[in-house]
Amino acid sequence: MILPEAEDGKISAIPRIKKAIAAEVDEIRRRARDVRVELRFGHAAFPADGDDHEKLIFKSNILKN
């Protein structure tokens, strides 16, 4: 998910997004107990952390978890 204009330009939106997604995950797990759901969160800022999507994804640590 790309947030082009987060309030502080950084990670302020992540806790709200995580909470909203967690509610949906709980509902999925309630309905289909054999379904595995995994979420990973990270952040990176353009252009400070990279000037293309590959660098930004790497910097966000999503792939490292």
pLDDT at 16: 81
Q: How much is the pTM? A: 0.49
Reading the block at residue 56, the tokens are 């930004």
C-alpha distances (whole Å) from 56 to each of 21, 24, 32, 33 are 22, 27, 34, 34
Mean pLDDT (10-residue bins), the chain, 65 residues = 62 78 87 81 82 87 60
Separation between Cα atoms, residue 50 and residue 17, nearest integer Å = 23
Burial of residue 3 (number of CB atoms within 10 Å: 0-12, 13-18, 19+): middle
pLDDT at 11: 62
pLDDT at 3: 67
